[in-house]
Structure 1
Amino acid sequence: MFYASMFFQYAAQYMKTRLQYRADLLVEIFSDLLSQAVNFIFILVVFGHTSLLNGWTRDEIIFIYGFFLVPYAVFSAFFNIWDFNERYIVKGELDRILTRPIHSLFQIILERLELEGLFGAVTGIAVMLYAGHNLGLQWSWADPFIFLLFVAGGALIYGGVFVMLACISFWADARTSIMPMMYNIGNYGRYPVDIYNKAIRIVLTWILPFAFVGVYPAAFFLGREEWYGYAFLTPVMGVIFFAVSVLMWNQGVKQYRGAGN
């Protein structure tokens, strides 16, 4: 209850701050929507030259892309730790965090909320409904609950991977460009993994499991029975990766010695 109370207090203060500059907020939301539109247009351009992509139709690829946007939006809203190294380690702001009676990772997540990122989830659901209508998909009463379970798993996978990357800063505090590179790799999860070679499929499934953010859970709703096993592994992978990332974080905090010279 204490952590839930802290979350809602931080979220309320964040919204008050953002609404002081409404034009800036609207521009940021529009920019995110434009970026998503560009990716959507890219898919349409690809299928302007072919009817199938390794057995996947245009609307199936669009559905996968729409699903991917939902857990990615949740991740973007709550795990903005891409500049953790420079802000909290190099500049020493972690010293301030560690003086407060709340878990340091949870506090950093609260400080870096970007709730407007959740608008991406609305876009993703709209894209899914559009593609699902074209595909004639039938929805059961259980699908919304399975959908939420898969979204939570995908968001935890993304969060776990990037928390692990942030943990590297506890042992090596030099500035690094690995975060932007990982964001680019994560985008591979919005396309079917079987269009890649075997090595990339293994990486996207078991090492950097971004395929569980997009194609595997989306395949369940598309009726691709051969992927059902992977689909229901999504929440399991999410819990495992996020739990490991928290353990790494706790060990990393013990190694932290401050920003002094």
Structure 2
Amino acid sequence: MTYFSVFFQYVGQYMKTRLTYRVDLLIEILSDLLFQAVNLIFILVVFGHTQLLSGWSRDEIIFIYGFFLVPFAIFTSFFNIWDFNERYIVKGEMDRILTRPVHSLFQVILERMELESLFGALTGIAVMIYAGSHLDLTFAWYDPFVFIVMVLGGSLVYAGIFILLASIGFWSDARTSIMPMMYNIGNYGRYPVNIYNKVIRYILTWILPFAFVGVYPSAYFLNREEWYMYSFLTPFVGIGFFLFAVFMWNIGVTKYRGAGN
């Protein structure tokens, strides 16, 4: 209960801070929506020259992109730790974090929240509804619950990967980071993995499992039975990667040397 209380206190303070500068908040939301629109336009341009992409139609890929936006929005809202190495290791703010009686990762997550990114989830759902209406998809009564489980699984996949990357900073305090490159690699999860060669497909499934953020869970709702096994693995892969990442974080904290000499 202590963690829930701390969480809602942080959220309350965050909202007060953000609403103080409403125009800045609105501009950030609009810029995120514009970025998502550009990616959607890219898909439309690609399908202006072809009807199918490795057996996937335009509306199916739009549906996958819409699904991808939902777990990605949750990830960017609560696990926005791309500058962890620079801010907490190099500049020594981790010293402050470790003086408090709350788990260090929990504190870092709360301090880096960007709740306005949750609007991306609404965009993703809207895109899915648009694509689903063109695909004449039908859903069972339990599919909304499956959707929530799949989304949480995809969010944990993203969170686990980037927590692992952040943990590297405990062993290496260099200013350089592979976070930006990993963000770009994560974009491959927006598209069906069978459009890539076998090596990339394997990496996106078992090494850096970004495919479990978009295409694999989407395959369940698109009635792609050949991908069902991967669809149902989504929550397990997400939980597994996240727990492993937290485990490595806890080990990394014990290796942290502090900002002093």
State the match for 1:189 in structure 2: 189
- Deviation for aligned residue 1:177: 3.1
Structure 2 unmatched ranges of 5 or more: none
1-structure distance, mates of 2:257, 2:193:
42
State the match for 2:114 in structure 1: 114
2-structure distance, mates of 1:5, 1:130:
38
The superposition leaves residues 71-100 of structure 1 with CA deviations (integer Å, 9 ceiling, x where unpaired) of 000000000110101100111000000000
The superposition leaves residues 115-135 of structure 1 with CA deviations (integer Å, 9 ceiling, x where unpaired) of 000000000000000000000
Q: How many residue pairs get matched?
A: 261
> Does 2:162 align with 1:162?
yes
State the match for 2:127 in structure 1: 127
State the match for 1:99 in structure 2: 99
Amino acid at match of 2:24: D
Amino acid at match of 1:220: Y
SS of equivalent to 1:260: coil
Amino acid at match of 2:213: V
- Deviation for aligned residue 1:171: 0.4
Structure 1 unmatched ranges of 5 or more: none
The superposition leaves residues 192-239 of structure 1 with CA deviations (integer Å, 9 ceiling, x where unpaired) of 000000000000000000000000000000000000000010000001
Alignment of 1:207-222 (within 5 A): 207-222=207-222
SS of equivalent to 1:175: coil
Determine if contact 2:63/2:128 at 8 Å carries over to the other structure. Answer: yes
Identity %: 75
Amino acid at match of 1:67: F
Task: Spell out structure 1 runs of 4+ moving beyond 4 A.
Answer: none
Aligned CA-pair RMSD? 0.5
SS of equivalent to 2:21: helix
Amino acid at match of 1:128: M
State the match for 1:234 in structure 2: 234
- Deviation for aligned residue 1:144: 0.4
2-structure distance, mates of 1:69, 1:252:
31
- Deviation for aligned residue 1:175: 1.3
Alignment of 1:9-88 (within 5 A): 9-88=9-88
State the match for 2:174 in structure 1: 174
2-structure distance, mates of 1:35, 1:257:
39
**TM-score normalized by structure 1?**
0.99
